[in-house]
Structure 1
Amino acid sequence: MNPLGKSDLQVSPVSFGCMSLGENAAQYKDLLRKAAEAGINYFDTADLYQKGLNELYVGETLKPIRKDVIIATKAGNQWRPDGTGWDWNPSKEYILKCAEQSLRRLKTDYIDLYQLHGGTIDDPIDETIEAFELLKQQGKIRWYGISSIRPNVIREYVKRSNIVSVMMQYSVLDHRPEEEVLDLLHQHGISVVCRGAVAQGLLLGKSAANYLQFTDGEVTRAAKTLAKIADESGLSKLEAALGYVWAHPAVATAALGIRTSAQLDDAILALRNATPLSDIQRTVLRKAVRSFHYEAHR
């Protein structure tokens, strides 16, 4: 288990990204319970997923073991009345309302980690922070964080708030956070909840496709280099991909989108063999991938 920032939460190195859960009750209940029994204790959802149904599924399934698990959810995206999409709303009033709705759907008295599901530099940031601080004072949330890849937004929350975590995309194919964000967060005792560590499966052998700024060939080269390191180290490709992000001290857990039993089995094996890659291995991987940086929101 790893500490989540300066909070009292201890999280498993592999966490369960619930966004991919389907609507088959027998299947998602089995996956969630099996994960918890295997030692995965952090479950990440959001009010946006399936228009709240995802929270409902997670809450119903984990209620019998509520005290043994960490439930993280998010707010800030407001569905339009016609259901065609959503708009950004980081207002204090909206976040407070969303928290009440999430608590009901999750069938719990408290949310372990409540996260702002996005954020821009033009937001009323102090007002947003006030909402999270009030919810914490009321005991409705234990801790709070943000989900963002925007350096300018992250810097403001580091300076102005008591966030304990930032959820962000980070992988062999997307090491933009290494430029400045990861070290900044680590210096301030704020943990990273990593998403996208397998780059939509491209690092695990999924057919090469354009990803971010990379060509098919560049994706293939990165995947082959990772596979070679995995083979030489006696690791699975998943373990090697996770080992890359685990090696940075800011990373507390890597959330995997799990929707099948096979994916869960692989995640459990990776959890049991949680091995960060060496500095040499990470350097080899970085050299196999063209470096680029965040261009906007700096």
Structure 2
Amino acid sequence: MQYKPLGTSNLNVSVVGFGCMSLTGSDQENSALLKEAVQKGINYFDTADIYQHGENETTVGKALAGVRQQIILATKAGNVWKADGSGLDWNPSKAHILQAAEQSLKRLNTDYIDLYQLHGGTINDNIDDTLEAFELLKAQGKIRHYGISSIRPNVIREYCQRSAIVSVMMQYSLLDRRPEEACLALLQQHNISVVVRGSVASGLLAGKPAKSYLDYTETHVKVMADALQAIAKSKHVPSSEVAIQYVLANPAVASAVVGIRTPAQLNEALQAAAATPLAATELIALQQALHPNTYRDHR
């Protein structure tokens, strides 16, 4: 397993991380899968307080308690389930984040969170209030570092200028190259690492039938899937491996978080992590297969 520094922190994260949101098994089944991931070298585990209404943090906490010192545990806060369960409200206030952190610590069965992330963000938020919460939690030793999960360039710029974030989690793939327009270079300039989600675009880059995605039509998606498959066949590897290696090729990216819920998916993720990086010609071929999309809002 390869590891990369997470921004200016003292954390080194596995180039492929475990996206815990996908876990659907019993505590016993989840524990076996998570512990196998640790044994195989994955050390970055990502969850959030809203996943399965907190149950995701609970099952992850039970599974990883015995290997806590070997792993980097990341969770998120800022979203709140409505009382009737019909959707989410947004609350990035200092008071809420401090309260949410305490609840996550209990569910995760730990004294500290390695990476605490704001689970979204808008340009209209009281960012100073949010940052006060993160800095206080850090001073108290309840979190080691903090970051944000956002795809909004205007929000990301504000945090680059005003905070000590070490990472930004963002959606990035061959079917969502919006981060390449401005965010990736900006974050690299500030030595803030990118943690990628969605590298296989909801499975469309891993063999699922083509359908429209973002502003791409089904035809566009098929063109990209075919280009990906051509390279995958030449290497005798799954398409998902090439898709993950594409995002890892960008120097701003520290880790690609992959949703894993079965041993087969874990093995595929491990194979992708160990793969030879794509050649420059392969990267160019993939980039030229389809016009890149760009941000329309929140610029």
TM-score (norm 2): 0.97
**Match of residue 196 from structure 1:** 198
Is structure 2 residue 299 aligned with structure 1 residue 290? no
* Counterpart residue identity of residue 151, structure 2: I
CA distance in 2, matches of 1:254, 1:142: 21
Contact 2:27 2:62 in 1 (8 A): no
Q: Which residue of 2 aligns with 1:72?
A: 74
> Displacement of 1:23 after TM fit?
4.2
Alignment of 1:41-190 (within 5 A): 41-190=43-192
Partner of 1:37: 39
Deviation at 1:209, TM superposition (A): 1.1
Distance 2:136 2:282 in 1: 44
TM-score after normalising by structure 1:
0.97
Give the whole-Å Cα distance in 2 for the aligned partners of 1:217 and 1:79.
Answer: 37
The one-letter code matched in structure 2 to 1:142 is R
Q: Please tell me the root mean square deviation across aligned C-alpha atoms, in Å.
A: 1.0
Deviations 1:101-156 (A, max 9, x none): 00000000000000000000000001101110110010000000000000000000
Contact 1:164–1:191 (Cα < 8 Å) also in 2: yes
Q: Is the 8 A contact 1:226 1:241 kept in 2?
A: yes
C-alpha displacement at 1:66, in angstroms? 0.2
Partner of residue 277, structure 1:
278
Deviation per residue, 1:84-106 (Å, 9 max, x gap): 22200000000000000000000
1:247–1:278 CA contact under 8 A, matched in 2: no
Deviations 1:184-214 (A, max 9, x none): 0001100000000001111111111111111
Match of residue 216 from structure 1: 218
Amino acid paired to 1:88: W
Equivalent-residue separation in structure 1 for 2:157 and 2:235 (angstroms): 37
Amino acid at match of 2:197: R
Q: Unaligned 5+ residue runs, structure 2?
A: none
Alpha-carbon distance in 1 for matches of 2:291, 2:72: 36
Describe the SS at the equivalent of 1:204: coil
How far the C-alpha of 1:162 sits from its partner, in A, is 0.2
**Which stretch shifts more, 103-112 or 199-208?**
199-208
Residue of structure 2 aligned with 1:6, choices 2, 5, 8: 8
Offset, 1:246 = 0.7
Distance in 2 between residues matched to 1:183 and 1:175, nearest whole Å: 13
CA distance in 2, matches of 1:289, 1:199: 15
Q: What is the CA–CA distance in structure 1 between the aligned matches of 2:126 and 2:279, rounded to whole Å?
A: 41
Alpha-carbon contact 1:242-1:276 (below 8 Å) kept? no
**Structure 1 ranges of 4+ moved more than 3 A:** none
The whole-number CA distance in structure 1 between the counterparts of 2:41 and 2:7 is 20
1:234 Cα deviation from its structure 2 partner? 4.2
* Per-residue deviation, residues 40-78 of structure 1 (Å, max 9, x unmatched): 110000001011000000001000000000100000001
Percent identity between the two aligned chains: 59
Unaligned runs of 5+ in 1: none
The number of equivalent residue pairs is: 297
Equivalent position of 1:20 in the other structure:
22
**Structure 2 SS opposite 1:159:** helix
Secondary structure (helix, strand or coil) at the match of 2:33 reads: helix
Counterpart of 1:287, as a letter, is: Q
